[in-house]
Amino acid sequence: MPGSELEAPDSGARAARRRELPRLLKAITTSRKATIGTLILLVIVFVAAFPGLIAPDNPQAISYTPNAGVSWSHVLGTTSLGQDVFSQLLWSTRQTLIVTLLVSAIATFLSTFVGVTAAYLGGVADRAITIVTDVFLILPVLPLLILLAAYLPPGVTSLTIVLCITSWAFQARQLRAQGLSLRNRDFLVSAKVRGERSLYIIFAEIVPTMTSLLAASFLSLAVYVVGFAASLQFLGLGNSGQLMWGTMLYNAQQQSALESGNIWWELAPGFAVALLGAGFALLNYAFDEIGNPALRPVKKKRAARRSLPRRSRP
């Protein structure tokens, strides 16, 4: 699981915030992983926003020969009902992306709130919150997700809720560790002396110094949400009428698309899920390298001079 302890910024909240944006842009353009990840995500966002521009057909219209093979009019074939697979794939992007971003945002918020609160309060509250977090870390995620999803009405809302419940714990632990390292900084002590409320200190003073860690949390959550959402739907715990990649996979699997030769119906949404996950993962990997200089790839020349970690003896 990706994750790193980021170096705490030296100065207060505002200075840290000013440095974030240029750093982010520089990071995206200098790291090849980040550039590829950003490009993948941009393409997917574009498709999600304007599927109608590219898609040749109404995704739900049952107007063609069922299981028609790949041809110029149907680049990915048709479903067993006679819908155009390519159009379904494009139109499914929107809902899939919305669920991923929504769950990742909510879970990032939850984990920030839980983790930073624990670190800020300390004492008994910290210990209690830590125990709850540990419990959620140990409970096996997918079985828990299935158990919850199986008994809620199938659909996007249930999917969002169960994914949020199960995905915050890991990041909460990381953010708590970061929060602990900030605890005795001058700007926090002075905020306390000014008599600010705890909630204000947490969200206006501590959280803004963690922007890069929050971005990393969001990205690694997104990677997992993409996979788990598709997995749940693949198992039939989604609403098969809603246009999402996971439900396409489910419908194709139910009709044994692979065995019957209609392979792109099942493989194309699989590739799409993998691509979205990879986009987030690449960005996340690049982010970790930026946050933790020890993990950055070293240039050959410099590495040779610092002979220690190298295989050749000095």
Q: Which residues bind other proteins (CB under 8 A)?
A: 1-2, 4, 33, 131, 134-135, 137-144, 146-148, 150-153, 223, 226-227, 230-231, 234-237, 249, 253, 258-259, 263, 266-267, 270-271, 273-274, 277-278, 280-282, 285, 292, 294-295, 297-300, 303, 308-311, 313
Q: How far is the CB of 58 from other proteins (least distance, A)?
A: 27
> Are the CB atoms for 59 and 88 separated by under 8 Å?
yes
Q: How far apart are the C-alpha atoms of 219 and 213, rounded to whole Å?
A: 10
Three-state SS string across the chain, please?
Answer: CCCCCCCCCCCCHHHHHHHHHHHHHHHHHHCHHHHHHHHHHHHHHHHHHCHHHHCCCCCCCCCCCCCCCCCCCCCCCECCCCCEHHHHHHHHHHHHHHHHHHHHHHHHHHHHHHHHHHHHHCHHHHHHHHHHHHHHHHCCHHHHHHHHHHCCCCCHHHHHHHHHHHHCHHHHHHHHHHHHHHCCCHHHHHHHHCCCCHHHHHHHHHHHHHHHHHHHHHHHHHHHHHHHHHHHHHCCCCCCCCCCHHHHHHHHHHCCCCCCCCHHHHHHHHHHHHHHHHHHHHHHHHHHHHHCHHHCCCCHHHHHHCCCCCCCCC
Nearer to other proteins, 7 or 134 (CB): 134
Q: How far is the CB of 227 from other proteins (least distance, A)?
A: 4
Nearer to other proteins, 192 or 310 (CB): 310
Q: How far is the CB of 152 from other proteins (least distance, A)?
A: 7
Nearer to other proteins, 13 or 169 (CB): 169
Nearer to other proteins, 61 or 258 (CB): 258
Q: How far is the CB of 223 from other proteins (least distance, A)?
A: 5
Position 58: which residue type? N
Closest to 87 in 3D by CA, of 110, 64, 109, 108: 64
Alpha-carbon separation of residue 139 from 1, 119, 144, 172, 251 (angstroms): 16, 23, 7, 15, 29
Nearer to other proteins, 209 or 255 (CB): 255
Nearer to other proteins, 182 or 282 (CB): 282
Q: How far is the CB of 163 from other proteins (least distance, A)?
A: 13
Q: How far is the CB of 195 from other proteins (least distance, A)?
A: 36
Q: How far apart are the C-alpha atoms of 284 and 221, rounded to whole Å?
A: 10
Nearer to other proteins, 13 or 249 (CB): 249
Q: How far is the CB of 216 from other proteins (least distance, A)?
A: 14
Q: How far is the CB of 67 from other proteins (least distance, A)?
A: 15
Q: How far is the CB of 235 from other proteins (least distance, A)?
A: 6
Position 123: which residue type? G
Nearer to other proteins, 206 or 232 (CB): 232
Nearer to other proteins, 231 or 239 (CB): 231
